Amino acid sequence: MGSEDDVGNLIDVDSGDDDYDDGNSDIPMSSMNSDEEYDFITKDPADIDLLTSQRTQKDYTILKDEDIRRRQEDDIKKVASVLSVSRGAAIILLRRYNWRVSTVHEEWFADEEKVRNAVGLQENPPILQISPDEDVSCGICFESYSFPAGIRAAACGHPFCRTCWRGYICTAVNDGPGCLMLKCPDPSCNAAIGKDMIEDLVAPEYKEKYCRYLVRSYIEDSRNIKWCPAPECECAVEFVVGSGSSDVICSCSYGFCWKCSEEAHRPVDCDMVAEWILKNNAESENTNWILSYTKPCPKCKRPIEKNNGCMHMTCRTPCGFEFCWLCLGSWFEHGRRTGTCNDFRTEEERKFDESERREMARKSLVRYTHYYERWAANQSSREKARRDLHHMQAVQLVKLSEIQCQPETQLKFISDAWLQIVECRRVLKWTYAYGYYLPENEDTKRRFFEYLQGQAETGLERLHMCVEKELNTYLEAAEPSNDFNDFRAKLTCLTGVTRNYFDNLVRAIENDLADVDSVGACSETSSKIADGSSNQ
């Protein structure tokens, strides 16, 4: 780790303007390893404000419970007003079409009768021809009750006693969200049971449970709103589908990916995350699986799984070697010699093959362990940083404000540093998963990636050490420190530099390290020019 005194020599710029060429390699990077070549440049305040607004611009909206209920009520009122139906009927229609108001309107005006039949809303419901206080038989328990005190009917007119209605609805509510599509108890009837009837018949706890299902359906049936997956969080997130990054940070501080609902994992894609998580969960079985179900490619020695019936195997690109699964001989020479696959092999020959397979499994496990340990270490460090952030905001910020005689608003740079550390630990963690799946044969890309990753990691360690250890000096001081403003400038600078390092790393990975080609081309051109000059 470099000296902390080098912070004044770091530059806060985009790596897209950096010159990687040192003329000595395909990917010239050594000239950038020294912090002495960086000069801190003070940006124009307007540029800083623009950059900050771009970074903090969100493509999503956090919805609390009251926001969700207000939106749902607005949609219900819209449908009820435009279609001239009751509130209960509007809810039934919206549930049918996944709470899409425009779809309800389109379908209704295209064919109202078809929609009514589909959802169970009768246009001209029958009227019960029953005199007041006349006894009516319940269609479920067959007991006689006076009407309307003891008997209730849905829009279809099928009469059932209030006790049976109550039992029917409460059972449906206890069974789950299916109660939102409740129909008349008569098996031959398709009439829908509306929210107004449920509120009239059941106890308050069942009404509340039904309303919770209704609110949840508003989110879960939506195409652009999801619940925050954090435990005990009741917020939802409305996302602008088709916008840039899929990462979302809820008001509860939990970050997750909109597409797969796993924790936020930019810059790697969802497929890689799913594959990495699956591998981590099953790694204890991997070595035995490799030994039991794979063989090494005779040419590149990578483990090969047989997934088809014939014995003709082809190693994946770029190797492409074709061989026989049984004898591991070249497939093109396979038919020229007789007895290749059915010849008995001696014990020494079998031991040699088994040793080769075990060595292959060992190397595979060592490589995985290298990346997993760093992935897990950054995850652990991130969790510790989050705890330190909360402790700093709740306790240390007030203490520091009193000691240094500065308002808490002027100490925001410390919170910014901790937030940057938490975010960078998350990004760095997932870059190790990316490095594991980066093809081993793409050496140029790998060296370029490891260079960017190393620069970002070094910057992060400097920032983390500064805010974690140097801050304690000012927290333990008995009086205001004369050099506290110098510490502010240093920490602010480190935060900005680290952010830029990680921005560069993220952009490079999201572009699949495409800059390697241009950097390599520039290096090759410079080399040719240099050769031409020397020849002259």
Indicate which residues carry an active-site annotation.
Answer: 310
Query: Residue 98: CB partners within 8 Å, gap ≥ 6?
Result: 221, 222, 223
Residue range 495-528, pLDDT digits in tens: 999 999 999 999 999 998 887 755 544 444 344 4
Q: Is 467 exposed, middle or buried (0-12, 13-18, 19+ CB in 10 A)?
A: buried
| Calpha distance 246→266 (Å, rounded) | 8
Q: How confident is the model at residue 530 (pLDDT cuts 50, 70, 90)?
A: very low
Say whether 346 sits in a helix, a strand or coil: coil
Average pLDDT over residues 107-123: 91
Least trusted range by pLDDT, from 92-106, 181-195, 234-248, 403-417: 234-248
Closest listed residue to residue 239, CA positions, set 253, 228, 252: 228
pLDDT for res 382: 93
**Mean pLDDT confidence for 192-219:** 92
Q: What is the pLDDT of residues 299-342, one digit of tens each?
A: 877 778 777 777 788 887 778 888 887 777 788 776 554 445 65
**What pLDDT does 247 receive?**
85
Q: How confident is the model at residue 132 (pLDDT cuts 50, 70, 90)?
A: low
> 321: Cβ–Cβ under 8 A, 6 or more apart, which residues?
297, 298, 299, 300, 314, 315, 330
Mean pLDDT (the chain) is 79
Per-residue pLDDT at 235 exceeds 50? yes
From 446, 445, 466, 462, select the one nearest 501 (Cα to Cα): 462
- Tell me the percentage of the chain whose pLDDT exceeds 70: 75
Residue 436 and residue 369 in contact, taking contact as beta carbons nearer than 8 Å? no
Integer Cα distance of 269 and 253 in angstroms: 21
Which DSSP string corresponds to 236-276?
Answer: EEEE-TT-S--EEE-TTS-EEETTT-SBP-TTS-HHHHHHH
- As beta bridge partners, residue 152 has 160
pLDDT at 111: 94
Global pTM reads 0.66
CA distances from 441 to 19, 44, 135, 445 (A): 25, 44, 86, 9
